[in-house]
Amino acid sequence: MATRTRLVAGNWKMHGSRAANDALLGALVSGARELAGIECVVCPPFPYLPQAADRLAGSRVGWGAQNLSEHGSGAYTGEVSAAMLVEFGCRYAIVGHSERRALYGETDTQVAAKFAAARKAGLVPILCVGESLAERESGRTEQVVARQLDAVVDASGADSLARAVLAYEPVWAIGTGRNATPEQAQHVHAYLRARVARSDDGIAAGLRILYGGSVKAANAAAIFAMPDVDGGLIGGASLVAEDFLAICRAAEGKE
């Protein structure tokens, strides 16, 4: 089986200030010195990316964006292109987060276009998929995540997942304190990996699939112990250095 280096990514959402970020980034830089064998990344809001780039230079903590435009350049007021992110040294971009899909109407097609734009510019997209509570309760979880994944695979091909990360984030678990059980997460992760394997076994085996949704220091180790869970996408707990570092340490638990 391919070795998958675990990844813990912090999604700061619309939180932060120069002063708060400075303290958080500083604590992460020193705490991350102890980490080995995993990758950790933070995704601050756009205006703070240069601050993150500065503060994290030479450290074990990488950084990425929370979103990007599907367009290259042009009359798209308020948008940020992949090339602009790359110019600042950005490596990752979250794509298709459920808040973008639900609050800003991002469609599967648009998410697939953002994914393609990120890859084309050399960014590693972190593609989020996940079902709502109503979808889970009506037994449609697999159908929903398959549709979200297929939109990207159909547009960019399964081999585009070779330089990408997938994140399973059940919408009902985000910011609710109600996380999926490790078994629920494993079930969907294994389903997603098998779906990619239908197109390409090798890419499926190497694909990192993160779990996101109320991951805390207290539940991280049990979730990360699942064989198809390769790390986490962390919202609330990524804003507190000790909590995020504790989650990173939990991710160190297995190779």
**Interface with ligand PGA by CB under 6 A: which range of 111-119, 148-156, 221-229, 230-238?**
230-238
CB of 25 to ligand PGA, least distance (A): 19
Distances, alpha carbon 96 to alpha carbons 131, 145, 177, 197, 210, in Å: 12, 12, 21, 22, 14
Residue 65 DSSP SS3: strand
Q: Give the integer Cα–Cα distance in Å for 244 and 23.
A: 14
233 binds ligand PGA (CB under 6 A): yes
Residue 97 annotated as catalytic: yes
174 binds ligand PGA (CB under 6 A): yes
CB of 212 to ligand PGA, least distance (A): 4
Among positions 172, 236, 243, 251, the unique one binding ligand PGA when judged by CB under 6 A: 236
Residue with tokens 């985000």: 174
How many CA atoms does the CB half-sphere of 28 hold within 13 Å? 33
Q: Which of 70, 223, 95, 100 is nearest to 163 (CA)?
A: 95
Residue 15 annotated as catalytic: no
Angle (deg, nearest 10), helices 18-32 and 49-56: 30
Amino acid making up residue 88: F
Which of these is catalytic: 70, 131, 135, 169? 169
Could you give the angle at the alpha carbon of 208 between the alpha carbons of 207 and 214, nearest 5°?
145
Amino acid making up residue 237: A
Restricting to residues 130-169, name those near ligand PGA by CB under 6 A.
Answer: 169
64 binds ligand PGA (CB under 6 A): no
Closer to ligand PGA at the Cβ: 43 or 116?
43
11 binds ligand PGA (CB under 6 A): yes
Closer to ligand PGA at the Cβ: 31 or 232?
232
Among positions 61, 123, 129, 234, the unique one binding ligand PGA when judged by CB under 6 A: 234
Which of these is catalytic: 97, 99, 106, 189? 97
